[in-house]
Amino acid sequence: MKKHEWLSKINFYKKVLKVIYFLLIPLVSVAFFLFYSNWPQQLPIHYDLYGNIDRIGNKSQMLVVFFILIVISALLFLIHRSNLEFNYPFVIQEENKDMARALTSSFLLLNAILLLLFVLISCLVTQEYVQGYGNFWRLNGLYFIIGILFSSLIIYLIMLKKLNGVGHEE
């Protein structure tokens, strides 16, 4: 695949990720504040691997965590737009630096989205507890997000490593 084709694909996916990011911000915020108003003062704030509650806390702790994760997500979004130099785990050839930057930018944006999804699923887990439903989100949702995070990291590193072979066809 030629360098400009590869770069245009990455830029297309970045545009899609930006749309998802900007759709998730209001969705997550509205869901959090709708659920938050119905939560009791004492809530489970941590679960073990089997979905059992192993820490209870005040609902204001959830508010603090919500704002911290939203700020981190916004910072990841801002960093993805910057022209910062990144420290890669291996040498990136000079002719492929723009592709490495585009790939890194997409990865940062994906992580910002995953943080928003983590907040949304955390809201669903808490709401599930408050309403006495089963533990579907508790057992599956957070593991899903963690799986996507590690999978995306592995894919990102593999794609970065393959950059050394891209662009030489031109």
> Using CA of residue 99, residue 104, residue 93, residue 155, what is the dihedral sign?
negative
**pLDDT of 103-137, one tens digit each?**
888 888 988 998 898 888 888 888 887 887 766 65
Q: Would you say the pTM of this structure is higher than 0.85?
A: no
How far is 12 from 101, CA to CA, in rounded Å? 14
| H/E segment holding residue 45 | strand 42-47
What does the pLDDT read at residue 165? 56
Residue 10 contacts residue 102 (beta carbons within 8 Å)? yes
Phi/psi of residue 89, nearest 5 degrees: -75, 0
Ranges under pLDDT 70 in the chain: 1, 90, 134-142, 164-170
Q: How many CA atoms lie within 13 A of 59 on its CB side?
A: 15
